[in-house]
Homo-oligomer: A and B are copies of this chain.
Amino acid sequence: MPARTARERARAELTREIKDEARRQLALTGADGLSLRAVARELGMVSSALYRYFPSRDELLTALILDAYSALADAAEAADDPAAPPRARMRAVCAAIRGWARAHQHEYALLYGSPVPGYQAPRDTVAPAIRVPLVLLAVVRAAWTDGAAPEPPRADAISPQLADQLQAVAEQYAPGLPEPVLARALLAWAQVFGLVSFELFGQFAGSVEPADGFMAFAVEQVCDLVGLPPGPEG
């Protein structure tokens, strides 16, 4: 085993500190306010020193995005107890997603808000990004395997285009899952994040804010959509 030199340890630690400080600034100023110089200043370094760690501002942003996707996915996965009944699982996963989003608003915005103009997310973001929908999919699939099935959509609701797309997705991530179930799972995914975004971005101001009650209601509807059997308090 190669001994970790002091240099290596120092480098790993400073890399982490840079990202931590960048996250802190993100929380204050948002993505476009993130400045290498400010990060360096806060760490007591000279701005050029950061270039030993990240070759450019965009690379730092990418690192933050990757970390955020992973952290969110970790939270979702940790909240999911495969032994629990599907509806309880869905509730727990949704609560974890919402909780993480509220605790890391600007990181969430980095992932699910308006794209940062001029910044092109690299391919590596795809893998961590799909972990969350895969958790939701696992819950839906478990319920389906157990015999719970959502009402099939009207025959015409799934267009040929959508059918093709669903087939491709199913092949890779959910072999054997019927298209209508998969379609609803995808819809549930979009709905959950749509709700969280609405809450975080302030669209509920003046109506159902604070949104705890509404969110709970919404999650039950999402569960119904994907055909999870009624839960304990149903």
Tell me the A residues contacting B by CB distance below 8 Å: 28-33, 106, 109, 112-118, 126, 130, 153-154, 156-163, 165-166, 169, 183-184, 186-187, 190-191, 193-195, 197-198, 201-203, 206-210, 212-214, 216-218, 220-221, 225, 230, 233-234
Contacts and interface: CB of A to CB of B under 8 A. Distances in A.
A130 B203 CA distance: 10
**A-B pairs, 3 with minimum CB distance:** A194-B194, A113-B114, A162-B213
Main secondary structure of the interface of A (DSSP, over half): helix
Contacts of A208: 162, 165-166, 169, 186
Given A186-B207, A191-B194, A217-B153, A112 B201 contact: yes
A74 to B, nearest CB: 19
Contacts of A117: 28-30, 32-33, 106
Given A194-B190, A194-B198, A208-B162, A157 B220 contact: yes
Given A207-B165, A216-B159, A217-B159, A201 B30 contact: no
Nearest to A31: B114
A191 to B, nearest CB: 5
Given A154-B220, A191-B194, A217-B187, A210 B114 contact: no
Given A115-B201, A154-B220, A233-B156, A165 B214 contact: yes
Contacts of A220: 153-154, 157
B33 A112 contact: no
A221 B216 contact: no
